Structure 1
């Protein structure tokens, strides 16, 4: 299996955004022991502040 990243992708802004977002939440991912080999699990919440921020953002978008 080739694990190198295509140089074209490295220059792609969408790929850069996806990688930045993925790396930002990587420490929050908790693999479920039963599914550890499949890569399934869940994200740990960062707390109530995160949920309030998401709710405010969603409300702002619905008013537009």
Structure 2
């Protein structure tokens, strides 16, 4: 018998940054870093995601790679 009473987590729902349609299958296309606080993530739908360049690691930029 399953005694776990925690509710099922809903699927992630995000708005595509390009077409502005809501998707339950979001793709992370960019991370915005905050200088004085937490940053945020930018998502796209599966159809628009290939139109974005690959995410850049901010630490690679700082190292000069």
**TM-score, normalisation: structure 1:** 0.23
Structure scoring higher RCO (CA < 8 A, sep ≥ 6) equals: 2
Bigger fraction of residues in helix: 1
TM-score, normalised with respect to structure 2: 0.23
